[in-house]
Amino acid sequence: MSICRVPSITTADDRPFGALCAKAGEPYVIPRDAANTAGGLEFLRAMLADDSAAGFIAQAGTLSANRRAELHGDARHGLVSINAALAEAGDNVFGVKLDTRNSRLWNDIAMVMGRFMNGDVKAAQLATEAQRLTDAARRRGGRSMRNRHQSRIILGFLAAPVLLYTVFVASPYVQAFYSALTDWRGLSAELGFVGLGNFAELAGDPVFWKALGNNVILLVTLPLVTIRAGVVPGLPAQRRGRPPRQGVDRDHRRVVDERLQPHQRPAQRRAAGRRPRRGAAVVARRRTAGLLGRARRTGLERRRIWENIRTAAVYLGIAALDAIAVVQIMTGGGPNDSTQVGSFYLHQNAFSYGRFGYASAMGVVLFGVTLARSAFTLSATRRERIEF
């Protein structure tokens, strides 16, 4: 093996002419604060001893970090050349940490270089493979830079919305969960911690249970009535009970009649309709394929309708558990709290009675009910394959 010296490009080289680039292939690191630093140092001393390093060279076929280790008599010419170059370089030996910049490229090239050192590939193959790996790394680097640029743009646009959502939506939720454990009156900065006392009071509050029952009634009826009223009038005519056209045979005769020449007499047209020829059979097969295509399109249409129904059911369920505007405008929760709903009762306790801690406990319960109902609807109506 021949090793040539890299010429100096400028006068600002850190190393003198003839310096050799070489580095350990498998670094062995002993942390300073390891559990057994002394044991690690002893293992390193034993591993790099002259006899151990010579044995390592003989078994592994590569040089050791101990430059005093002697090569065995039948060592490969490559090892002999590298060892001589290291001895000539003396202290002018350095390493380049390329693996910290592009570890994938470095590992790939190291594998190819190992095959070359073992004689499995030739020099031309090594150069070709190294160039291919370098080009692939360059393409990956370009995509990575583009992805990082796009990520910065996306994060820049999302920063303001996420901040607003955190301040005005997520933060009030967290505060409500904490307020539910206090007797906060809404006007004082002092919050007396009562633990689960508000929830215990809710369990014995008949008005709250009445309001929650009305919410359940709305939860059952509102989605059913609204979805049925909105979906049924929009269905195609043949899906609302209208009879389909009478069979393929009648359509087949009509197509055959249209294909006959104008000078043919009616009797001939009737006979041709009763005895379909080869061209008519082709037309019938084409019409059958068209019917199947329309059936597939109808299946896709039904899938879209089902997804819309599923989404509407979730949001209508959330609206049923709210209903504060309707109750407040129409009945005000009366008479005698018979039309009360959870959200309006919460509003009354907070802003009319000054019991914000108690109202927050109601909000936590309604939040749990809404979340459970939405999760149930999404899981119960999920279909991997929809068949009609």
Confidence of residue 247 (pLDDT cuts 50, 70, 90): very low
Interatomic CA distance for residues 76 and 35, integer angstroms? 40
Quick one: average pLDDT of 42-66? Answer: 82
Determine the length of the chain.
388
Domain ranges of the chain: 20-140, 180-380
- pLDDT tens digits along 91-106: 777 776 654 555 677 7
The average confidence (pLDDT) of the chain is 76
Check residues 213 and 136 and name the one with the higher pLDDT.
213
Question: Which position has the token pair 């590992």?
Answer: 107
Check residues 81 and 202 and name the one with the higher pLDDT.
202
pLDDT cut 90: percent of the chain above it: 15
CATH topology of domain 180-380: MetI-like fold (1.10.3720)
Per-residue pLDDT for 28 more than 80? no
Q: Which class for 48: exposed (0-12), middle (13-18), buried (19 or more C-beta within 10 A)? A: middle
Per-residue pLDDT for 185 more than 90? no
Most confidently modeled of 120-124, 169-173, 178-182, 322-326? 178-182
- pLDDT tens digits along 296-334: 445 556 677 777 887 888 888 888 888 888 888 898 888
Find the angle CA(62)-CA(65)-CA(70) to the nearest 5 degrees. 65
Confidence (pTM): 0.45
Per-residue pLDDT for 147 more than 50? yes
Task: Find out whether 315 and 230 touch, Cβ atoms under 8 Å.
Answer: no
Question: Which position has the token pair 């000054």?
Answer: 354
Interatomic CA distance for residues 120 and 114, integer angstroms? 9
Confidence of residue 387 (pLDDT cuts 50, 70, 90): very low
Check residues 256 and 64 and name the one with the higher pLDDT.
64
Rg (CA), the chain: 41
Quick one: average pLDDT of 157-181? Answer: 90
Q: Estimate the crossing angle of helix 356-380 against helix 278-320, to 10 degrees.
A: 170
Q: What is the pLDDT of residue 361?
A: 93
Confidence of residue 141 (pLDDT cuts 50, 70, 90): low
Quick one: average pLDDT of 285-297? Answer: 48
